[in-house]
Chain A
């Protein structure tokens, strides 16, 4: 076994249109220790978390001979690896039925990890196991793996349980803007992703700031800012209108407290946003139930983060966009957040504008609102493009 030598592995991702993307990993193997670093192309972690996970699993297999492996990778990459993509050997301590003979049987059919079981025909495998000498042990092993797979998916709910959860946790957050609240039947929903789309200066950021200030009185708000549009002065202005206290000092105190409920992160590319969201996820998972809970997540604006990657490489860009969308929806549902994202418009056919990010994005948000400013006045118009319970085409005017 070669010692003290860095080995470089490289996987080439070949795309349909002939473009190539490279994923690289470095590993240093000793008898009992392997260090593994994982990179995307261009030396940066430039791929979706799923691709990073695959790169790492490829590296792990090569390092399979060691007793200990040290992984250096972001948390969201390591988590699925540990159980599902790592070699079956890792499961032996916890599930003794997965012994070397079982692993040898699986290897003869091209199955090396729990994830490989997912794309193989388990009935055929069982039929092969049937013909083996130790058939019941093998079948017990397959049953054991199936129960591990049963943990891989979300739990099944029935209608009553879902409804209970919706009534208890998924309330409506009023935005504080009368026209919009009336249009949406109370405000934006917790557990859903709402998109505000419109041409420039159509009031999108103002709506977000107003909503943030309205929600911050009772809950925490996370504002992900991509274009330096977050303005504490505006927040203070909106709060000043709501807070109804006589003395200036008391007012100031309340203002301080409420503004400390709004967290603002500046991000300038999509990978930084993924980082922020993953940190948020682990923070929310381990936070205690009492105290001030986070209920609103605003991304201003998501199109600025996604458009650069969408143009360059066709499949990776769309995969990144959809991963971001699913991550936001997962956060909304599992941690009871309302997510508000801003999108801009681009020119469409016939000179009329249409929302950016294309057709694949259309099925991501739960509701889509089109904002525009009314010429010659301070009013704005909001039009429903899509909503789970309101008819599309309904419009309303509002002022900020």
Chain B
């Protein structure tokens, strides 16, 4: 008798699903057509080896978090990643080594400087142009020079159009952005044929204190979720996860942390270079020994479980840097997946260069 009731219920379910199928109109969450699914699954997922994150092959679908104290070049790394993404692989005979896809930048710190971004993009374009065959010919004629400049400007414009930017002044705006991102991405794809490959979030913990200061009211009913730090973070992580299912992208987020006592957070002593050479052991003391983080983690567990993470910080090295004498040296350490050594790198206008 049990069997027949199960059969009945299954038949009922089949009937009702047919009914619903015939009423299907434009849905909120529509199924993809087979072609769209194939396109999505067959999107090239190359491994991206962006310096200074080259030690771990990251690909589309990963979430990477860059943690570090303020002024440790985290945003600069994001910007260089964006530039690598929007530059084409090659254009007009010159190889730029980029991906030719769009990049989206969600600015939660609201400190992004577009003039600096365009300067860096121009530097990369010039550098690639000058080291190619075209550059080797003598720039004798004015016409050649003007044509080169024109090509560069065209390339610059097409790259800048592939860079999408938004700022959020609080968590509601950020959540609203994430919830409507799916439609935005679809619209960009249909209208301009742009595929977004990279999602950059500057300072994922920017609203942490603002949300903590928000109270936990729960009027009206037990099942109403209150606007609480926990709920907001969970909603944010959930949206990003769902987004990655449908739109495969590489997500890179920065996080500002406060390092512990052993590391001086006082930029004045750093800038004046008051550290004697002997104190360089500070840089070694700050690495995580026994998986103990030297900084206090403030992001909730849902976020921590989701991503790969690495940490970068500024050290005031007395090492003489022959090729890049005026630039600060930074250290990067992979926490997850854990690595045993540190990467030293420096940042210049033309990119990020590994020192060791």
Contact = CB atoms under 8 A, between A and B. Distances in A.
Contacts of B179: 117-118, 122, 146, 149
Contacts of A348: 266
B209 A363 contact: no
Interface stretch (B112-120, B284-292, B305-313): B112-120
Interface string B108-129: 0111011111110000000000
Most buried by A among B111, B183, B326: B111
Contacts of B268: 352-354, 370, 383, 385
B96 interface: no
Most buried by B among A119, A166, A319, A349: A119
B113 A366 contact: yes
A152 B172 contact: yes
B160 A159 contact: yes
A385 B174 CA distance: 29
B282 interface: no
Contact of B28 (A121, A139, A391): A139
B111 A366 contact: yes
B212 A319 contact: yes
B216 interface: yes
A200 to B, nearest CB: 16
B184 interface: yes
Interface in A122-173: 122-123, 126-127, 129-130, 135-136, 139, 142-143, 146, 149-150, 152-160, 162-163, 166, 170
A370 B272 CA distance: 12
Contact of B210 (A50, A54, A153, A393): A50
Contact of A159 (B117, B224, B271): B117
A363 to B, nearest CB: 5
Contacts, number: 225
A131 to B, nearest CB: 9
A119 B256 contact: no
Contacts of A363: 70, 109, 111, 203, 206, 256
Interface string A9-30: 0010110100001010000000
Nearest to B209: A318
A388 interface: yes
Contacts of B256: 362-363
Given A162-B114, A315-B212, A153 B264 contact: no
Nearest to B113: A388
B213 A48 contact: yes
Interface string B220-237: 110111010001101100
A50 B183 CA distance: 28
Contact of B176 (A118, A318, A350): A118
Given A119-B175, A126-B28, A154-B166, A13 B180 contact: no
A319 B213 contact: yes
Given A156-B184, A159-B161, A389 B213 contact: no
Interface in B170-200: 170, 172-177, 179-180, 183-184
Most buried by B among A48, A316, A326: A326
Given A118-B179, A153-B176, A363-B109, A110 B223 contact: yes
Contacts of B184: 156
Contact of B165 (A119, A157, A318, A349): A157
Interface string B51-90: 0000000000000000001110000000000000010000
B23 interface: yes
A51 B170 CA distance: 13
A129 B27 CA distance: 11
B167 A154 contact: yes
A326 B166 CA distance: 15
A126 B24 CA distance: 13
A252 to B, nearest CB: 40
B150 interface: no
B29 interface: yes
B225 A136 contact: no
Interface size class of chain B, counting residues whose CB lies under 8 Å from the partner chain = 35 or more
A120 interface: yes
Given A119-B231, A136-B25, A366-B113, A153 B180 contact: yes
A282 B232 CA distance: 29
Contacts of A389: 113, 115-116, 119
A360 B162 CA distance: 33
Contacts of B265: 354, 359
Interface string A311-345: 00001101110110010011001000000000000
B215 interface: yes
B269 interface: yes
A362 B220 CA distance: 39
B196 to A, nearest CB: 11
A82 interface: no
A396 to B, nearest CB: 13
Given A158-B161, A349-B266, A354-B268, A333 B167 contact: yes
Given A153-B177, A363-B70, A119 B28 contact: no
A160 B160 contact: yes
Nearest to B234: A119
23 contacts: A54-B227, A58-B219, A84-B172, A110-B221, A115-B227, A118-B179, A126-B27, A146-B183, A157-B165, A157-B166, A158-B161, A159-B161, A159-B163, A162-B165, A163-B115, A170-B115, A319-B210, A359-B265, A362-B70, A363-B70, A366-B113, A383-B271, A388-B111
Interface of B: 20, 23, 25, 27-29, 69-71, 86, 109-111, 113-119, 157, 159-170, 172-177, 179-180, 183-184, 203, 206, 209-210, 212-217, 219-221, 223-225, 227, 231-232, 234-235, 238, 242, 256, 258, 261, 264-269, 271, 326-328
Interface of A: 11, 13-14, 16, 21, 23, 48, 50-51, 54-55, 57-58, 61-62, 80, 84, 107, 109-112, 115-123, 126-127, 129-130, 135-136, 139, 142-143, 146, 149-150, 152-160, 162-163, 166, 170, 192, 315-316, 318-320, 322-323, 326, 329-330, 333, 348-350, 352-354, 359-360, 362-363, 366, 370, 383, 385-386, 388-389, 391-393
Which 5 pairs, one residue from A and one from B, show the smallest C-beta to C-beta distance?
A: A319-B213, A159-B160, A110-B223, A159-B163, A152-B176
Given A118-B176, A159-B163, A159-B164, 4 more contacts: A149-B179, A319-B213, A359-B258, A366-B111
